[in-house]
Amino acid sequence: MRAIVEAGFISLSRNGVEGTTTRHIAEIAGVSVGSLYEYFANKEEIFDAMHQHVVAEVVDMVQPRIPELVRMEIRPLVAELLYRFRDLLERDDGRYLRYMSYAAYFAPRNQLEPINRMLMNLLVQYVMHHPDLTRLGNLPAMGFIMINGGIFTVIRHLTDPHPTVAFDDLVRGLGDMVGYFVEGELARGP
């Protein structure tokens, strides 16, 4: 069962979505096709399990570190999150990255929710630890932008076969984006 999900990632990485058949998965996992259906009702459920696995990894990576993250300056915080995120995605020959770049295909409904909630939570905690930030308006909207913009920009950059910008520049850019925004908003306020 663990092996099947594992095999799913491997096959996806090797053969892409279309090329990933139940046969392949079964073969890689070292079981017969019929056995897949002992654990999963259909192929979709295998992908679901893979999805949950990735989501859980991301959450586990950040969640326990929220207390320390909350104490950091904005730009280093952004950088820290992005680098960690990249490392996770590139682990095992980009296994998770491959999955992610197809994710919406499998999970039509918003199944990145747990990650979203966790990051929103981080944002709220962060603001509470930096009292001057409470003057920022419309936190939900800014959170939505930063979280989604950040995640997709990184995925898109990592999947780009010929990136025109370096990842480091991307990280610095995103950090500045957030940093300047906060500084700008605070400077404007009364």
Among 16, 30, 76, 189, binds a second copy (CB under 8 A): 16
By C-alpha distance, which of 159, 58, 75 is closest to 116? 58
Contact between 136 and a second copy (CB under 8 A)?
Answer: no
The span from the CA of 54 to the CA of 50, in Å, is: 6
Contact between 157 and a second copy (CB under 8 A)?
Answer: yes
Contacts of DNA in 43-72 (CB under 7 A)? 43-44
Q: Decide: 102 and 12 in contact? Cβ < 8 Å.
A: yes
Pattern 98-127, a second copy, x by CB under 8 A: ---xxxxxx-xxx-----------------
Among 27, 80, 92, 176, binds a second copy (CB under 8 A): 176
Among 15, 16, 32, 169, binds DNA (CB under 7 A): 32
136 φ, ψ to 5°? -65, 135
Residue 29 vs 158, nearer CB to a second copy = 158
Q: What separation in angstroms does the CA of 165 have from each of 169, 187, 189?
A: 7, 31, 34
